[in-house]
Amino acid sequence: MADSSTQGPAARGERIAKVMARAGLCSRRDAERWIEEGRVEVNGIVLTTPALMVGPQDRVEVDGKPLPEKQDQRLWRYHKPSGLVVSHRDEKGRETVFDALKEQLPRVVSVGRLDLNTEGLLLLTNDGELARLLELPATGWVRRYRVRAHGTVAPEALAGLKDGVTVDGIHYGPITASLEKVQGSNCWLTFALREGKNREIKRVCEHLGLQVNRLIRTSFGPFQLGELKRGEVEEIAPSVLADQLGRGMAGQSAKPKKAPRADRRRHT
């Protein structure tokens, strides 16, 4: 493999992983991994590092195929059923949401992730850079969930989550939580949060003495699960997307600060 210093693309342009993500081929994180695996070439030279700027004049190939031309930005709402993995490849061979949708959608990436047994609203887009922007905590969009859990909890304990909580050395930001109803030995709760760290709701509930047995995401920022049936996917109208992005990104810098690596893989 050639050293990146001899690869020749123009010094000005955009980072290769960003260009790949914008083409809808993968997320920026996956692009970096593909480069490490030697799957990406620029001007006929195999890359060894994602720290490379490319411009329109550079020829980018992935697995020997030219990079797709950037398409218009699109976004879909998907009602993810329990039991599907939010990943393009699963090492255990389990079915993924992308397997389930391959006949209905073009190549898409998810905005954040949901655990295997978490159901509800999952946003999908053909623009990896849009996915990255929407899932960053700096964007500030609230994720809302309905939670069914075994056990009982005092309203005061739920109210205490508004200041954040630290569980097993991991700090979780402010959470708005309330008791919806009690149903036998279970209770239904609503949670609203802005980060969505790995298994956050389940770990916080365990901290409160609750065992989560059903978790449903009902909204992500301005986009609602609504009446979308389980397994259904529906495109958000371009005009609605443009309007909501304009509102949601107001006050945000054009280049949001990079989140710490530990927070960049988010699924609850």
Structural domain span for residue 210:
143-220
Query: How far apart are the C-alpha atoms of 178 and 161, rounded to whole Å?
Result: 10
Residue 239 φ/ψ region, left for φ over 0, alpha for ψ in the -120 to 50 degree band, beta for the rest: alpha
Report if residue 152 sits inside a domain: yes
User: What confidence score (pLDDT) does residue 164 get?
Assistant: 94
Per-residue pLDDT band for 246 (boundaries 50, 70, 90) equals confident
For 52, residues 6+ apart whose C-beta sits below 8 A from its C-beta are: 4, 7, 9, 15, 16, 42
Q: Are residues 211 and 240 in the same domain?
A: no
Residue 230 pLDDT > 60: yes
Question: Are 52 and 42 within 8 A, CB to CB?
Answer: yes
User: What confidence score (pLDDT) does residue 167 get?
Assistant: 95
The terminus-to-terminus CA distance of the chain in angstroms comes to 39
Q: Are residues 210 and 180 in the same domain?
A: yes
Beta strand pairing call for 53-54 and 14-15: antiparallel
Coil, helix or strand for 97?
helix
Q: Which residues are catalytic?
A: 115
Q: Are residues 38 and 11 in the same domain?
A: yes
Q: Are residues 216 and 227 in the same domain?
A: no
Encoding tokens for residue 189?
Answer: 């709760």
Q: What is the CATH number of the domain that holds 106?
A: 3.30.70.580
The predicted-structure confidence for 74-111, as pLDDT tens digits, reads as follows 999 999 999 999 988 888 889 999 999 989 998 898 99
Q: What is the CATH number of the domain that holds 192?
A: 3.30.70.1560
Which of 220, 243, 261 finishes a domain?
A: 220
Q: Are residues 118 and 237 in the same domain?
A: yes
The predicted-structure confidence for 116-171, as pLDDT tens digits, reads as follows 999 999 999 998 888 888 887 777 789 999 999 999 999 999 999 999 999 999 99
Q: Are residues 84 and 215 in the same domain?
A: no
Which of 66, 90, 109 finishes a domain?
A: 66
User: What confidence score (pLDDT) does residue 265 get?
Assistant: 40
Phi, psi for 138 (deg, rounded to 5):
-65, -25
Residue 267 pLDDT > 70: no
Which of 17, 38, 66 finishes a domain?
A: 66
User: What confidence score (pLDDT) does residue 73 get?
Assistant: 87
Other CB atoms within a 10 A radius of the CB of residue 129 amount to 22
Report if residue 262 sits inside a domain: no
Report if residue 266 sits inside a domain: no
Report if residue 264 sits inside a domain: no
Q: What is the CATH number of the domain that holds 8?
A: 3.10.290.10
Q: Are residues 101 and 231 in the same domain?
A: yes
Coil, helix or strand for 215?
strand
The predicted-structure confidence for 190-212, as pLDDT tens digits, reads as follows 999 988 788 999 999 999 999 99
Number of domains in the chain: 3
User: What confidence score (pLDDT) does residue 258 get?
Assistant: 37
Report if residue 166 sits inside a domain: yes
Residue 266 pLDDT > 80: no
Q: Are residues 158 and 60 in the same domain?
A: no
Kindly state the greatest CA–CA separation across the chain: 68
Q: Are residues 48 and 97 in the same domain?
A: no
Q: Are residues 174 and 185 in the same domain?
A: yes
Report if residue 263 sits inside a domain: no
Report if residue 265 sits inside a domain: no
Q: Are residues 180 and 55 in the same domain?
A: no
Burial level of 189, CB count in 10 A (0-12/13-18/19+)? buried
Report if residue 10 sits inside a domain: yes
Does the pTM exceed 0.85?
Answer: no
Other CB atoms within a 10 A radius of the CB of residue 156 amount to 7
Q: Are residues 178 and 121 in the same domain?
A: no
Average pLDDT over the chain reads 85
